[in-house]
Structure 1
Amino acid sequence: MPMDSKDKRTAKNKHFITSLEFAMQGIKTVFEEERNMRTHVCMGIVAIIIGFIFRLAVSEWLWLLLAIFLVLVTEIINTVFENVVDMVTDCHFHPIGKKVKDMAAGAVLLTTGFAIIVGMLLFVPKIWQLLQDYL
């Protein structure tokens, strides 16, 4: 029996490469469509460059990369929630939809706060030492 356009079902991906292509498309989509994701990626790149400048230790790299990737993952999850709410509400306001979006945005905010704290703990002492060496 043929499916109409309202009853499209997808089969589970049976090939790793196909799953990988879909995942990469998802990352590309969120990067292209979400300004905040582009900002988070740029700030992460800046932090990585600063990490190379200050020659972070392996343990410091682990904290820095954890913070960066947590922000990126929560931004992707936030975007998923926003899209699902918009799909379910047909882009009309709904108080529960607003709650969901606000909570997902709150998760990004908390994670970003964590990343800022990690960055400060890693870089402020190094910057302070650099300033003392030159003064």
Structure 2
Amino acid sequence: MDLKDPKLSEWKRFFKSFIYAWSGITQTFKSERNFQIHVSISFIMLIVGMILGFTTFEWVLLLFLLGGMLSLELINTALEHVVDLITPDYHPLAKAAKDAAAGAVLVYAFLSVIIGVIIIWSHLKLFL
């Protein structure tokens, strides 16, 4: 990473940061099964939202849930990589850190599913 290179202009460093961020997203997508699952579910939910005609508020809520879920999964992956880099051997604190990060993803996923079911149910009961 050369974002600290004084020869680069502020704008070049700014735009390079997007390249590095996109690289992190694509690398995570290529290597992490859970991230692939979350991305797939995100696309499915976007299609469901279009089919059911979500309201503006429902779209905002859905986008926050999807973006939050993907962001948490990226953070979880980053933390796992850092822990693995620092402690290549088993250590109870490393396990605790990785488990806590995975737990944060799980809590947000449960919350997202519950809210998604509520939104979808409100649209489906209109058809019943």
Partner of 2:46: 48
Q: Which has the larger radius of gyration?
A: 1
More displaced 10-residue stretch of structure 1: 34-43 or 115-124: 115-124
- Which one of the candidate residues 66, 69, 74 is aligned to 2:67? 69
Q: Distance in 2 between matches of 1:65 and 1:88?
A: 34
Q: Does 1:111 align with 2:111?
A: no
Gaps of 5+ in 1: 1-8
Structure 1 segment 72-87 matched on structure 2, within 5 A: 72-87=70-85
Distance 2:3 2:107 in 1: 36
Give, as a single letter, the amino acid of the residue that structure 1 aligns with 2:107: L
Q: Please, which of 86, 89, 93 is the counterpart of residue 88 of structure 1?
A: 86
Q: CA deviation at 1:126?
A: 1.1
Corresponding residue for residue 22 of structure 1: 20
RMSD: 1.4
SS at match of 1:129: coil
Task: Return closer, same or farther for 1:95/1:58 CA change in 2, 3 Å cut-off.
Answer: same
CA positional deviation for 1:10:
5.2
Per the alignment, residue 36 of structure 1 pairs with 34
TM-score normalised according to structure 2 size: 0.90
Structure 1 position 121, deviation (Å)? 1.4
Cα deviations across residues 38-73 of structure 1 (Å, max 9, x unaligned)? Answer: 000000110010000011111010111111111100
Letter in 2 for 1:32: K
% identical aligned pairs: 34
Look up the match of 2:4.
12
1:123 aligns with 2:115: no
Unaligned runs of 5+ in 2: none
Runs of 4+ in 1 over 3 A off after TM superposition: none
State the alpha-carbon separation in 2 of the partners of residues 10 and 24 from structure 1. 16
